[in-house]
Structure 1
Amino acid sequence: MAESSEEQAAMQHYLVCGTEDCQQNGQFYCNACHQPLCEQCRNEHQKSPNTKNYEIVLYRHRKHQLPMEICQDHPKRNVDIFCRECKTPICSKCCTMKEHKGHEFDDLEDIYAEKYALWQGEFSKIQKYFLPTSQDMKTDIKEDATQIKKIMESIRTSMKAEAESLKNLVDEVISENIEHTHAMEKSLLEMLKSQETIYDDYIAYLWKMSDKFQEYLSITNQKLLFQSKTLKIQPVPETTKPVPPVFTAGQFNKDDVAKLLSRVNVPNTKPEKRKLQPMEAVTIHMKSTEKQLEQSKEKSDMKQTLSLSSSVTKVREYSVPGVGSACHVSVDKSGRLWVSDWRGNLVQTDLQGNQLQKIKTSTYEGYHTATQDGDLIYTDKDKKVIYRITPDKKITEFINTGDWRPLSVYSSRINGDILVGLNIPEYVRRRKTAIKEAKVIRYNKAGKEIQNTQRDNKGQELYSDPHYITENINGDICTSDYRKHAVVVVNKSGQHRFSYTGQGSEFDPWGICTDVLGHILVCDNVSKSVHLLDQDGGFLSVILSPQQGIQHPRGVCLDDENNLYVGQAGTNIVTVYKYLQ
């Protein structure tokens, strides 16, 4: 959808010129003055006798300013020179001392800028090649595991079917053999029945003969006895005993059965190495050596795959059922949305906005985050518990935070660590809460605490109400602290780097996220806008404002396609924008 000229003009403003009273777009940078310049001020800079020899570059080519460090030998001077022979940083007064006489020196700021860019390049390699490639390998392994499970299940099914077939054949043979025994039994019994009939007839004959002998032996019939011939008795019939069948046991064992069935063998094939996409094929275009850094700054910058677009484009929007306000938004690996509101409703929707599941909690800040494994982690500040939801919708207790209320949570895209913002109230009276302490804890993927950040190096409390939290590509932990009215940023070691307090007299930060270029995006409730900061906390622009239809931005996050999701108070609509190209 085409944007109005007013909207385009608003979105083209990314960096304000550092010259006093100049509000133009600061697209250039003076490495000597360390300030952004618009085109007109750059021209004046180059014409002025005092600044004409200063190095002016595009803002993205700027040198990072050397951090201030006091010289140990000269406490009133800063370290700004590098001694080649001693290979140590010194101040300008040190170079006049006898121990450095005749030595050659370099500008420490130049060395710092080169080293910073070099390590930033190496860090970018990790982010843009090594981590994504490793994740791809991990995904391949998971897919292989799924495929192996399918193959083995198929083999087991075939084995069971084959065994069932063998069992059926055994049953068929046994059935035939048993039927044969019935036939044999019938034949033998019929033979014995015939023999029994023979003896029945013979016994009847004997009884008949017995009667005749009795008649002859009678006294009254003696004459008959003398007159008659002697009676002869027929011999007892001869019969044969039946020969019973003999059962001969089958000669087989387990191995004989195994030979009848199929076998599963690992083929004698050398495993194929997983294919790694060469780094040269990935559009990282980073400098790998200091020499390349010095020779190809301009060339390397032109090859960057992503940069800020000249305008922000609305891509799509979702109407999320089951929530009153889109106060926080998370996007999981499948692209599904998790959205929560003031009332503790946590809803998951599919890509069409259909509700998939709904959970009731007691938190309403940035309290949920999608992990690299496809799970969702969310906090419940009243129960003081952090929960995990797996893709099959199983909810388990992950971490118990004791007396501390877990307000915000973020799953690291770098190593899977879990960052949690917590506080502990001193009292709650008339809907007002006094905060006793606040901190940020880093847990590993197993839920074990590995880092606890609460105070700066001066012992001052860093946090009060860290209600949204995220991590930048360099490992910085960025928290949006409502009561501090600031974005508080510490490095991965927990050392305070900077605090961003907005562009006006008031600043109420809410949702916060970072992108692949290291930008920090934060919602401001006062100006009703989304601020874009660089990695060091420098304000670059108001990326979204009421002119783009934004009224009450609360939650922000980015998906794997670098799309920006923005949720607002008072509406269940989540809007998606494209601001990188």
Structure 2
Amino acid sequence: MDPHTSAQDVKRCDLCETAVVQMHCDTCLVNLCTNCVGKHMISDESKDHKVVKFQARKSTPLYPGCTSHNKQQCTMYCNQCDIPVCIKCIASDQHLGQKVSEILKVVDEKKAKIIKERTELHEKIYPTYQGIAFDVQNRISQLEKEYGDLSTAITKHGEDWHREIDKLVKKLKAEVDEMKNTQLETLHKKHLDEINKKMSDIKDELNSVDVAVDSNDISKLFDITINVDRYKNLPQNFLPSLPKFIPGRIQELSKIFGTLSSSSSTSDENDYSIKTTQKSPEAGSSPPVKQLLDEPEIVTTIDTGYDNLYKVACLSDEEIWTRGNGNTMKLYSINQGSLLMSISTKSGGEPCDIAVTKSGDLLYSDHIDRTINIVKIEEKITLQNWIPRNFYLNTFSDDLLVMMYCKEKKQTKVVRYADFTEKQTIQFDDEGKSLFSSESQYNKYITENRNLDICMADKRAKAVVVVNQAGKLRFRYTGHTPAPKNRSFDPRGITTDSQSHILTADYNNDCVHIIDQDGQFLCFIDCGLSEPYGLCTDTNDNLFVAQCSSTQVKKIKYLQ
């Protein structure tokens, strides 16, 4: 079993590497089984091996060797020289008159100081940096969205301009055609027609003259009268005046179209501070550190009336949405346990998953018509070859993570949508192997942790698969032994809390597993649960568990 990807591997002997550890050498810092103790003792007889039970490891103090006196251990500490010293050092004149303390007392004081500083780092400073990182990531996501909106606005303005320019071009060309037709009509009907008339008259005159001149009838010659002067008055020269197109200066187009103001970034070294009070992740501060309760307690139980209950989602700290078998989704009051609203799917089929947007709208996936819908608004995402099942909605960024499968390809993938536009696909590891099991009949449940890890409870694989924001595998959690009912790990619903804990329902063992963000098991919640299925947490880290057969939702307090 790989210790890097398993949360429940046991310690093995450092010598034989097979037997379970039972002893520990405090001198060599080596883990041993009982069979290897003797072998280790004779491996280096120059050392004084201090072998203790594994549970009591590191209980024997290892005094530092004296640099001035060979083979002497420093059991004392010179406060003035700030160095460990041995008995011979004290007996010499080197530390005469200087204050000397027992080294174990100095070690205890130093350890107490280190533990205090470690506690401050762990409980205050590191969570603050987590909050800052979360805040910066949200700012990055928001910045990408706002710059996208800015580009969209410029594109739309450009399209508006194109339409107006097309109208203007059409109008100017129509005016050109009108001017052309007017001037052509003048040239044709008035000027050219007059000229053609006179040319016809001149031809008639010429024909008459030719006939008279060629005839031997003298009387015809005397009848001819030519009015040459009549044709010497030539028509006026009609010169049409063409309009001119005076284009605007393209160089000034940017000023007319619109300009961008300058962007700026500022930093304030005093902006962030170590805080101990809780604020939302949007504010950039870390949540207060909460300890797990020794005994989780059931606060409220709500009966939902389904034959089987599968999912619960918090609308607020007072109201929850539920979904079970059938096509109806129900809204309940947490305190009164009363039904507030029922909504049916558009297709009439059973919804696969539900979530609540930050604006309070109900989101559900429908495998019948392959859609993801927002109640009261409109269908937003329609898939072709893929069928949506479970999903997670980030209520801070409104990013949507959708688990979907393809029957034909026998594949499963996770797709991230931002503003209902596909942004990221997570499907394969670095070796090209599928991260998730492919069988369509097994549901998978998905959530996103505070550190932006994506966590999926994969029922078929009997594991919780966790990848980072880029889709790279971090670890697989395959349960903890012994489980409350000693049955195989059967993960169903999954959620996280303000401490970046990952909580997953174990259907077979009637409990909820809590692990940290690195996959280390912390504890079980098994306070009378029966077939836990769907999970969610509210803003106060109360856990809501949808129990399948009993169709009850239990509100559980598990953090201090």
Whole-angstrom distance in 2 between the partners of 1:256 and 1:451: 62
Counterpart position of 1:325: 308
Q: 5+ unaligned residues in a row in structure 2: which ranges?
A: 1-22, 28-48, 67-71, 77-83, 88-101, 280-287, 327-349, 371-388, 429-433, 481-485
| Structure-2 separation of matches of 1:370 and 1:109 | 48
Mapped contact 1:338–1:346 kept (Cα < 8 A): no
Q: CA deviation at 1:113?
A: 6.4
Q: Are the equivalent residues in 1 in contact too, given 2:352–2:364 (CA < 8 A)?
A: no
Checking the alignment, whether the CA contact within 8 Å between 2:400 and 2:416 is kept in structure 1 is: yes
| Cα distance per residue 1:496-523 (max 9 Å; x no partner) | xxxxxxxxxxxx452234799x996634
Distance 1:398 1:129, change over 3 A: same
1:564 maps to: 543
Change (3 A) 1:122 1:318: farther
Q: Does 1:179 align with 2:178?
A: yes
| Letter paired with 1:75 | V
Rate the CA distance shift 1:447–1:169 in 2: closer, same or farther, 3 A. Answer: closer
Q: Is the 8 A contact 1:422 1:439 kept in 2?
A: yes
Residue of structure 2 equivalent to 1:200:
200
CA distance 1:388–1:560, shift in 2 (3 Å): farther
Distance apart, 1:565 and its partner CA: 0.8
Map 1:216-365 → 2, pairs under 5 A:
217-218=216-217, 233-235=226-228, 237-238=231-232, 239=234, 245=240, 256-260=249-253, 262-268=256-262, 270-273=264-267, 278-280=272-274, 283=277, 314=299, 319=304, 324-326=307-309, 346-350=352-356, 356-359=364-367
User: 1:444 offset after TM fit, Å?
Assistant: 3.2
Map of 2:553 onto structure 1: 574
Give the Cα separation in 2 of the matches to 1:114 and 1:446: 39
| 1:528 aligned counterpart, secondary structure | coil
**TM-score of the two chains, using structure 1 as the length reference:** 0.51
> Equivalents in 2 of 1:401, 1:515: separation in Å?
21
Q: Deviations over 1:419-441 (max 9, x none)?
A: 5677999xxxxxxxxxxxx7766
Report the CA distance shift for 1:317/1:205 in structure 2 as closer, same or farther (over 3 A): farther
Any gaps of 5 or more consecutive residues in structure 1? 1-67, 88-92, 286-302, 362-366, 426-437, 457-461, 484-507, 530-550
TM-superposed CA distance for 1:305, in Å, is 8.3
Amino acid at match of 1:257: I
| Structure 1 Cα separation of the partners of residues 421 and 302 of structure 2 | 25
Change in CA separation of 1:146 and 1:523 when aligned onto 2, cut-off 3 Å: same
After superposition, the C-alpha distances for 1:264-323 in whole angstroms (9 at most, x for unaligned) are 5443464344898532455279xxxxxxxxxxxxxxxxx978997999685795849xx7
**How many residues align structurally?**
410
C-alpha deviation, 1:528, in angstroms: 1.7
SS in 1 for 2:546: strand
- 2:152 corresponding residue in structure 1: 153
In structure 2, the CA distance between the partners of 1:552 and 1:207, relative to structure 1 (3 Å rule), is: closer
Write out per-residue CA displacement over residues 135-189 of structure 1, whole angstroms, 9 at most, x where no aligned residue: 2333233333333333333333334434544444444344333322222222222
Q: How does 1:339-418 map to 2 (within 5 A)?
A: 346-350=352-356, 356-359=364-367, 370=392, 374-376=399-401, 386-388=412-414, 390=416, 392=420, 398-399=427-428, 400-401=434-435, 411=447, 413-418=449-454
Residues 564, 579 of structure 1: 8 Å contact kept: yes
**Which amino acid in the other structure matches residue 51 of structure 2?**
P
Q: Deviations over 1:64-105 (max 9, x none)?
A: xxxx96422311485336678669xxxxx98779x9734622
The structure-2 alpha-carbon separation of the partners of 1:467 and 1:130, relative to structure 1 and needing over 3 Å to count, comes to same
Is residue 75–residue 104 contact of structure 2 (8 Å, CA) maintained in 1? no
CA contact (8 A) 2:456 2:464 kept: yes
**SS in structure 2 at match of 1:279:** coil
**Do 2:311 and 2:535's aligned partners in 1 also have CA atoms closer than 8 Å?**
yes
Which whole-Å deviations, capped at 9, do the CAs of 1:4-45 have from their partners, x for residues lacking one?
xxxxxxxxxxxxxxxxxxxxxxxxxxxxxxxxxxxxxxxxxx
Q: How far, CA to CA, are the matches of 1:316 and 1:258 in structure 2?
A: 71
| Aligned 8 A contact 1:408 1:420 in 2 | yes
In structure 1, the partner of 2:142 is 143
State the SS of the aligned residue for 2:309: coil
**Which residue matches 2:332?**
none
Verify the 8 A CA contact 2:505 2:533 in the aligned structure 1.
no
Asked if structure 1 preserves the Cα contact closer than 8 Å seen for 2:496 and 2:537, the reply is no
Change (3 A) 1:251 1:83: same
Q: CA deviation at 1:416?
A: 3.2
Distance of 1:120 and 1:412 partners within structure 2: 27
Sequence identity (%) = 14
| Mapping for residues 10-21 of structure 1, pairs under 5 Å | none
Normalization by structure 2: what TM-score? 0.53
CA–CA distance in 2 between the matches of 1:579 and 1:520?
12
- d(CA) in 1 for partners of 2:460, 2:290: 44
Against the structure 1 CA distance between its residues 127 and 317, is the aligned structure 2 distance closer, same or farther, given a 3 Å change threshold?
farther
Q: Is the 8 A contact 1:566 1:576 kept in 2?
A: yes
Distance 1:109 1:568 in 2: 50
Q: Look up the match of 2:338.
A: none
User: 1:133 Cα deviation (Å)?
Assistant: 2.9
Asked whether the 8 Å contact 2:464–2:491 carries over to 1, the reply is no
Distance 2:177 2:324 in 1: 72
Distance 2:516 2:479 in 1: 27
- Identify the residue that residue 51 of structure 2 maps to in structure 1: 75
Distance change (3 Å), C-alpha of 1:411 and 1:350? closer
The residue identity in structure 2 corresponding to 1:558 is: T
What SS is found at the alignment partner of 1:148? helix
- Quote the RMSD (CA, aligned, Å): 6.0
